[in-house]
Amino acid sequence: MKKLEGRAFLCLTLVAVFILGICFFVGRMFIKGSDWATFYGNQHIFKNGQLNVGSLVDRNGVYLLKNSDEGTKYSEDLELRVANCHITGDKRYNISTGANVAFRDKIIGYNFFTGTNSLYKRELKLTIDSELNRTAYRALGDREGFVGIYNWKTGEILTMVSTPTVDPMADVDISQVKEGTYVNKVLQGKLTPGSIFKLVTTEAALEKKKDINSWIFRCSGVYDIDGERVTCPKIHGTNDIYGALANSCNGAYAQLAIELGRDVLKEYVAKSGLTTSYNVDGIKTAEGYFDFDTNKVNLGWAGIGQYKDWINPLSMMVYIGAIAGEGEAAYPRILEDSPKNKISLINPDTARKLGDMMRNNVKSNYGDGNFPNLNLHAKSGTAETMKGNLPNGWFVGYTGDYAFVVCIEKSGFGAQVAGPVANRVLQQLVNGH
Ligand SMILES: [Zn+2]
């Protein structure tokens, strides 16, 4: 009898181990299945290391690429595929954030229950407007930079163009391409913000400086801090906070930054989302970095968006979206069927005031005539970079449901160089011409 009991026990143990093993395997498959199925060695969906199933279309159903046994086929329209290269990715998979790499499991239609033998049509739809990308690409011309636009109410990214770019179909010698060619700068870029960062310093001042509504700053073109100087490109005279932002007075913002102090600036930068990495349907964006020094001059320059400040363009676009959305913005996304989420970044009253100030910037400085029928809210930035290089010209803002970031690298004054690019693309989007 004892012997029988012993055998039954052994048998049950074996069954238990077997069931545990199955559970473990199914669990692993649930978590890792997409990686296994999309592994390069899977002959079913890869040929010679190239994906051979799935296609990609934009928000209007415009065909962007199709994977087949003959390789990846892109649009026949050369300009369209060059303009959308950072969205689709190139045929050699040099662009890590390109859809053919980043959304591999979705593009092949992987599903836990059906595997890669999906019964569904293997067509992935993006929120991108490929024709709007063409307009942005034309507006950038042969200059280096980027344009990003997203709907802050729905989270849909409509435009994301970086230059320099390449023909995704061409056989390119990587050693010959310009630096940054394979980088989607809106997602992966990190740049000195310059004066567009003054929005965050303004936000902090509106909430933490009690006398901000009666505060005035007299700009003489040079602001002296313990014998060191923060300079303005010209004398701005007497300004309240509206005037200081519209004129982008460096002296005024150095004074504000020093008065607010490092801890307050740190707190507001953290709150702004400018140091967070966003997860755009699985693509992680670069995160910004700020160093608020104990040295007063350095702290002053940091409050102006210079010194060691770095931001990622997408994070700035979302921050602008939160100003437009009275504190709240939709989380950015690029896949048409991905979930809609919201994030709260700014106090509603402060966001309304910032929006009002951005509108005032256009009315009193950049000129509504340069942005017809857009009711534009904006802030420019002219970010000093390496010695000897021209500054990076930024122009960020919103109109209606759309928040945007534009930057022309090594160019000049933001409102002059990046402003017209923003206008060109927004006219197409908002006014249809
Ligand atoms: Zn000034």
C-alpha 254 to ligand 1 mean position (Å): 10
AA letter at 261? G
Strand 157-163 and strand 145-151: the pairing is antiparallel
List phi, psi (to 5°) of 219. -95, 125
- pLDDT score, position 340: 94
C-alpha 424 to ligand 1 mean position (Å): 30
Q: What is the mean pLDDT of residues 181-191?
A: 97
C-alpha 232 to ligand 1 mean position (Å): 5
C-alpha 50 to ligand 1 mean position (Å): 56
C-alpha 234 to ligand 1 mean position (Å): 6
Range of weakest confidence among 31-40, 146-155, 299-308, 358-367? 31-40
Q: What is the mean pLDDT of residues 158-162?
A: 98
C-alpha 223 to ligand 1 mean position (Å): 8
Q: What is the mean pLDDT of residues 408-422?
A: 95
- pLDDT score, position 372: 98
C-alpha 266 to ligand 1 mean position (Å): 24
C-alpha 204 to ligand 1 mean position (Å): 19
Domain 187-431 in CATH 3.40.710.10? The answer is yes
C-alpha 357 to ligand 1 mean position (Å): 17
Is the pLDDT reported for residue 398 higher than 90? yes
The more confident residue out of 185 and 69 is 185
343 touches 431 (CB < 8 A):
no
Distance of CA 237 to the CA centre of its chain: 36
Measured between alpha carbons, how far is 372 from 95 in angstroms, rounded to an integer? 36
C-alpha 364 to ligand 1 mean position (Å): 16
Q: What is the mean pLDDT of residues 260-268?
A: 97
Is the pLDDT reported for residue 419 higher than 80? yes
AA letter at 56? L
Give the tens place of pLDDT for each residue, 271-328. 999 999 999 999 999 999 999 989 999 999 999 999 889 999 999 999 999 999 999 9
Neighbours of 89 (CB within 10 A): 27
How far apart, in Å, are the Cα atoms of 303 and each of 247, 291, 414? 15, 10, 18
Residue whose pair of structure tokens reads 């990495």 in the numeric block: 277
C-alpha 381 to ligand 1 mean position (Å): 14
Give the tens place of pLDDT for each residue, 193-252. 999 999 999 999 999 999 999 999 999 999 999 999 999 999 999 999 999 999 999 999
Give the tens place of pLDDT for each residue, 81-104. 999 999 999 998 999 999 988 998
- pLDDT score, position 115: 63
Distance of CA 93 to the CA centre of its chain: 21
420: nearest Cα among 143, 85, 87: 143
Neighbours of 369 (CB within 10 A): 6
List phi, psi (to 5°) of 354. -60, -40
Split at pLDDT 50, 70, 90, the class of 108 is: confident
Instruction: Enter the tokens of residue 92.
Output: 């050699």
C-alpha 245 to ligand 1 mean position (Å): 10
Split at pLDDT 50, 70, 90, the class of 119 is: very low
C-alpha 250 to ligand 1 mean position (Å): 5
pLDDT over 90 for what percent of the chain? Answer: 76
C-alpha 327 to ligand 1 mean position (Å): 29
C-alpha 185 to ligand 1 mean position (Å): 31
Is the pLDDT reported for residue 338 higher than 90? yes
Read off the pTM. 0.90
What average pLDDT is seen over the chain?
92
The more confident residue out of 339 and 9 is 339
Instruction: Enter the tokens of residue 135.
Output: 């307009």
CA geometry: angle at 279 spanning 278 and 285, to 5°? Answer: 55
Q: What is the mean pLDDT of residues 403-408?
A: 98
- pLDDT score, position 40: 59
Split at pLDDT 50, 70, 90, the class of 128 is: very high
Is the pLDDT reported for residue 120 higher than 60? no
C-alpha 219 to ligand 1 mean position (Å): 5
Split at pLDDT 50, 70, 90, the class of 33 is: low
Burial (CB count within 10 angstroms: exposed 0-12, middle 13-18, buried 19+), residue 105: middle
C-alpha 88 to ligand 1 mean position (Å): 44
272: nearest Cα among 203, 210, 368, 360: 203
C-alpha 192 to ligand 1 mean position (Å): 20
C-alpha 132 to ligand 1 mean position (Å): 37
Is the pLDDT reported for residue 18 higher than 70? yes
C-alpha 305 to ligand 1 mean position (Å): 15
Largest CA distance in the chain: 103
